[in-house]
Amino acid sequence: MNLIEGLNDKQKEAVLTTEGAVLILAGAGSGKTKVLTHRIAYLVHEMKVAPYSILAITFTNKAASEMKERVEKIVGSGAKDIWVSTFHSMCVRILRKTIHRMGYSNQFSIYDAEDQKKLVGQITKDLGLDEKFYPTKKTLSIISSQKNDFISPAQYEAQMLGDFTGTNYSTIYKMYQEKLEKNNSLDFDDLIFKTIQILKECSDVREYYGERFKYILVDEYQDTNNSQFMLVELLASKHRNVCVVGDPDQSIYKWRGANIRNILDFEKKYKEAKIIKLEENYRCTKTILETANEVIKNNINRKEKNLWTQNEEGEQICIYNAYDDRDESMFIASTIVKEVESGNEDYNSFAVLYRTNAQSRVIEELFINKNIPYQLYGGVKFYARKEIKDILAYLKLLVNTRDTLSLERIINVPRRGIGETSMDRLAAYAAQENKTMYEAMLTINEVYELKSVAFKFQAFVDMLEEIKSDLRNKKITEIVEQILEKSTYMQTLKLETTEEARDRVENIYQFIAKAQEYDETREDGTLENFLEEVSLVADIDNYEEQNNTVKLMTLHSAKGLEFPQVFIAGVEEGVFPSYMTLNSVDEDEREEERRICYVGITRARKRLYITYANARKQFGRIVYNAPSRFIEEIPEKYKKDLTIKRKAENSAKIKVISKLSDGLKKHTTFSVSNYNNLVTPSKVAMSFESGDKVSHVKFGFGIIEGVRPAGADYELTINFETVGTKKLMSKFANLERV
Give the whole-angstrom CA distance, residue 729 versus residue 584: 8
Residues 154/157/161/165 CA torsion (nearest 10 deg): -170
User: Do residues 119 and 179 make contact, with C-beta atoms less than 8 angstroms apart?
Assistant: yes
Please report, for residues 132, 133, 354, the alpha-carbon distance to residue 166 in angstroms, rounded to integers and kept in the order given. Answer: 15, 12, 35
- Burial grade of 6 (CB within 10 A; 0-12, 13-18, 19 or more): exposed
Phi, psi of 654, rounded to the nearest 5 degrees: -125, 130
Indicate the DSSP class of residue 575: B
Q: Name every residue whose Cβ is closer than 8 Å to that of residue 112 and which is 6 or more positions away in sequence.
A: 188, 383, 384, 535
Give the DSSP H/E element, type plus range, for residue 598: helix 587-601
Judged by DSSP in three states, 44 sits in helix
Q: Would you please indicate which residues are annotated as catalytic (active-site) residues? A: 32-33, 219-220, 250, 603
Where b means 16+ CB within 10 Å and e means fewer, 7-17 reads: beebbbbbbee
Give the whole-angstrom CA distance, residue 373 versus residue 348: 9
CB atoms under 10 Å from CB of 115, counted, come to: 24
Give the whole-angstrom CA distance, residue 605 versus residue 603: 7
Judged by DSSP in three states, 353 sits in strand
Phi, psi of 252, rounded to the nearest 5 degrees: -130, 20
What value, to the nearest 5°, has the Cα angle with vertex 150 and ends 132 and 252? 75
DSSP symbols for 501-549? HHHHHHHHHHHHHHHHHHHHH-TT--HHHHHHHHHS--GGGG--TTSSS
Indicate the DSSP class of residue 135: -
